[in-house]
Structure 1
Amino acid sequence: MKRRTSATPRRNRRLTLAAENIDMALRAVRSNRLRSSLTIAIIALGITSLVGILTAVDSMDATLKDAYSRMGAGIINIRSLYSMPADMRRIRNSREISRAQAERFTDYYRAPATVTIFTTVLSGTRAEAGQKRTNPTTDVIATDGNYMKYNMLELSSGRSLSAADVEGGRFYCVIGDNVARTLFEAQEDPVGQTVHISGRSYIIIGVAAPVGNNAGGSMDGSILVPYTNALANLATSTPDFTIGILPDPSVSSEAAATEAEMTFRAVRRLAPFDDADFRITRSEAVIEELNSTMRTLTIAAIVIGLVTLTGAAVGLMNIMLVSVRERTREIGTRKALGAASKRIKAQFLMESVIIGQTGGLIGIAAGILIGNIIAAVMQASFVIPWLWMLLAIALCMAVGILSGYLPAKRAAALDPIECLRYE
């Protein structure tokens, strides 16, 4: 019992001394507001750049990975090189993927898979129903009955396009969630109603469930039309089809991609020695490339933040050294009254840490705000980067301790008699 009672006052005394050190440190920071504010601003700038960039990177990374996970790990796309730079278009037979080629591919492809063909015939157009119309941001996609399965899209009402709709070139369409919300009241069922696109009337047979933004754009603001009908009634230029392949689980993505390349080379009538005039992308490869890009951006953000914080650390150390010199008589007075050297040292360290953490907290708040604003502009999701917040706090603590150690040590080593003589 005696040991416990003797330990309790000792702990209380330590807490009291710590509280006094914090109070004195805060008063010292407030007494030099201009100098402290400049240092806090530099630290905040470094942390803002660090947390801001990393927040935006995390947000885009999460959004893109979520989109590709919804699409499926084995998704394969075949696209033309027509939209590539001029030097790429010099490749023999570099041209659009025509309807005939896309259809031949679906007939010839033998690997177990869901195959769809699609192309955007109208981009940034309006759709009208009654007195209402969408903003000029609606995309009209010419496709077949497999498009929704390939993209793992679901319906909130109605049905998707069928092979019969495509073969008959019917004036049917499936609209996205945003289109439905814009053109119809909440209690209205759009299925069976008519929507007007570029002067043509289409009967709505289905409404896609909301999906949000994804890596290839959102279905929410799109309209699906049978490609046979769209090419005859809506297309304003030569179509350039994309071929989408969703392999069955029994087939590896690599094997499906190899089969796709061989099949499409035959469709394009390329000789064995000819370079491919099309490109095949697998979602796994895209994700790997995204991961590599995100890692590069993360490293760049950390380097920028560390460089800025290094400058802030040097500035903070200089400010603390100036503070020690200006408060020499105060240090001497405190020592003469019995203040221990370690308490003097603790006070100056505390001042340095407070400045560092204040700048860090401001920088974290600004970084999260700016990072999520950038993410919102790029239509990515909102994130709170807990890992980077902890890293920022740790870095600011390190900056405070490292910058304050030398000034604190110098203050603690001062001779009280010499301090009292200092003018």
Structure 2
Amino acid sequence: MFSLFRENIRIALDSIKGQVLRTVLTVLIIAIGITALVGILTFLGALEKTITGDFASMGSNTFNIQRYEFTTRNNREREKINPVISYRNVKEFSDRFQYPYTKTSVFFTGTSNAEVKFESEKTDPEAQVVGVNENYLENTGTGIEKGRNFTFFDIENNNHVCLLGSDFTKNLFKNTNPIGKTISIRGVKFKVIGLLESKGATFRNNQDLKVLIPLQVARSMYTLPNINYNISVKVDDKQFLEGAQDEAIITFRNIRRLNPIEENNFGLERSDDLINRIANITSYLYIAAWIISIITIFGSSIALMNIMLVSVTERTREIGVRKALGAKRNTISGQFFIETVLIGQFGGVIGIILGIAIGAIAASISNFEFSVPWLAIFAAVVTSFLTAVVSGLYPAVKAARQDPIESLRYE
């Protein structure tokens, strides 16, 4: 049995070598379908990993109070317009909210196009300046590569100190340790006390070109009306998370002076809720990717079947000779079937390599975090095998049913 299988593989390989052009075209047809599948799944995997990684770094025991709920933020025309979260709101919340085992972070973005100067050097006007308190790094899952974090006294005394994102070591401080150096923003000088760990960029939003400064100092520099502040609360023990959320909602409703029958005019979001919603969105993208890929692979399978039928027709006399020498139907069908499966696997391997390469390039251009798409590779192997099986079944059966006498007469 094994010797017959090995013989069929040898015959299939000899046939493939004898029809190089046809084999190459067939392999490319399969490879195109597999490339579409692996490429799309690779890119979606990188997208999902990057987005969930950004939110997961905040921890599952963190929640935010913000102007809108996540689900209504893109439907503002239909939804009521919530008032901004003002400094008075966040100040009252910080004073009133005293739930056990919690840390409250208050922050706002002063500008996203600041020009940062150091000595005679300066950056392009694209740096983000954020006013924060001492709990910002812990609540957002941001680490420090060098130096130290803000202390309570830095924030309370309005010290002119700052933390820099890692990208500043690529321009202002390319060959210099930034710790202890003095930078200037809008003519205001700050001493650098820490360098943040790299967090990369998501959707062209560079998280590493950021300057963190004390909250009150930022308020004195950026005085536009209707600045929207953000509140982040971290619970040290997850078992107190639900209670902390309820207390935060009650506290903020009192601050907003809402009566019991009024709806919240603010949003509360947990980081793990966002991760779950993102997972739901990407699941639809995966389904769309599979639909597109299946359509492509279906076309590939039809092309492969047609090519194998042509091969059966051209080798009719060869089939007749083999049957005249005693070859059975299952031997003939097995030969063509194995040939089809081998071609399908060759196409699958090429498609996997091209798909991973294309997906990795697309992820790199989009600044997404690439990882080896094992699920996509497994799906490609199974899909290419099933495609070859489906495509090779009918040609193999047709070859096996050839009449040996008629086959020997075929010219």
TM-score by length of 1: 0.87
1:245 aligned counterpart, secondary structure: strand
Task: Write the letter of the residue equivalent to 1:50.
Answer: L
Deviations 1:121-180 (Å, cap 9, x if unpaired)?
110333121233334432111111111121233323333223333333332211122224
Measure, in 1, the Cα distance between the counterparts of 2:28 and 2:380. Answer: 15
Whole-angstrom distance in 1 between the partners of 2:223 and 2:179: 24
Measure, in 2, the Cα distance between the counterparts of 1:114 and 1:416: 85
**Which runs of structure 2 are paired with 1:12-161 in the superposition (5 Å)?**
13-14=3-4, 17-30=7-20, 32=22, 37=25, 39-81=26-68, 85-87=75-77, 90-91=80-81, 94-112=82-100, 113-161=102-150
Q: State whether structure 2 residue 197 is matched by structure 1 residue 209.
A: yes
Pair 205,131 (structure 1): closer, same or farther in 2 beyond 3 Å: same
Equivalences, count: 407
SS in 1 for 2:292: helix
| Distance in 1 of aligned mates of 2:136 and 2:252 | 19
Indicate how the Cα distance of structure 1 residues 387 and 84 shifts in structure 2: closer, same or farther if over 3 A, else same.
closer
Question: Within 2, Cα distance between the matches of 1:31 and 1:375?
Answer: 34
Separation of aligned partners in 2, 1:147 and 1:217? 19
Q: What's the RMSD between the two structures over aligned residues?
A: 2.6
| 1:329 corresponding residue in structure 2 | 317
Change in CA separation of 1:390 and 1:158 when aligned onto 2, cut-off 3 Å: closer
C-alpha deviation, 1:389, in angstroms: 0.8
Which amino acid counterpart does residue 348 of structure 2 have in structure 1?
A: G
| Residue equivalent to 2:383 | 395
Q: In the alignment, what sits opposite 1:273?
A: 261
CA contact (8 A) 2:9 2:339 kept: no
Q: Is the 8 A contact 1:29 1:355 kept in 2?
A: no
- Mean Cα deviation higher: 39-48 or 400-409: 39-48
> CA 1:231–1:85 in 2, change beyond 3 Å: closer, same or farther?
farther
Query: Is contact 2:13–2:339 with CA below 8 Å preserved after alignment?
Result: no
1:25–1:347 contact (8 Å) kept in structure 2: no
| AA aligned opposite 2:221 | N
1:233-255: CA deviations, max 9, x gaps? Answer: 24556421011110120643222
Q: Matches of 1:359 and 1:158 in 2, distance apart?
A: 53
**Paired residue type of 1:73:** S
Q: Tell me: CA distance 1:16–1:151, structure 2 relative to 1, closer, same or farther (3 Å).
A: closer
The letter for the 2-side match of 1:100 is: R
CA distance in 1, matches of 2:238, 2:292: 46
Assess if the C-alpha contact under 8 Å between 1:68 and 1:215 holds in 2: no
Kindly state the Cα deviation for residue 74 of structure 1 after the two structures are TM-superposed: 1.4
Identity %: 33
Q: Equivalents in 1 of 2:209, 2:39: separation in Å? A: 30
| Offset of residue 263 of structure 1 | 1.0
Counterparts of 1:394 and 1:256 in 2: how far apart (Å)?
Answer: 48
**CA distances 1:191-237 after superposition (whole Å, capped 9, x unpaired):** 22111223322221222233445799665321101121112124556
Contact 1:68 1:214 in 2 (8 A): no
Once the 2 structures are TM-superposed, how far is the Cα of residue 101 of structure 1 from its aligned partner? 0.9
2:208 aligned counterpart, secondary structure? helix
What secondary structure sits across from 2:99 in the alignment? coil
Query: Secondary structure at 2:211's aligned position in 1?
Result: strand
Compared CA separation, residues 269 and 289, structure 1 to 2 (3 A): same
> Could you tell me which residue of structure 2 aligns to residue 283 of structure 1?
271
**Is the 2:182–2:191 Cα contact (8 Å) retained in structure 1?**
yes
* SS of equivalent residue, structure 1 residue 289: helix
Distance in 1 between the 2:240 and 2:203 partners? 22
Provide the rounded CA distance (Å) in 2 between the counterparts of 1:310 and 1:250: 49
Cα deviation, residue 350, structure 1 = 2.4
Code of the residue aligned with 1:63 in structure 2: it is: T
Query: What amino acid sits opposite 2:386 in the alignment?
Result: A
Structure 1 residue 58 displacement after superposition: 1.7
Query: Cα distance, 1:398 vs. partner?
Result: 1.4
What 5-or-longer segments of structure 2 have no aligned partner? none
Check conservation: 1:122, 1:141, Cα contact below 8 A.
yes
Structure 2 counterpart of 1:348, one-letter code:
F
Is contact 1:28-1:351 (8 Å) kept? no
Is the contact between residue 25 and residue 348 of structure 1 (CA under 8 Å) also seen in structure 2?
A: no
TM-superposed CA distance for 1:50, in Å, is 1.5
Output the CA distance in 2 between the equivalents of 1:73 and 1:215. 23
Q: Match for residue 184 of structure 1?
A: 173
1:285 CA displacement: 0.9
Shift of 1:72: 1.0
Q: Which AA in structure 1 matches 2:372?
A: I
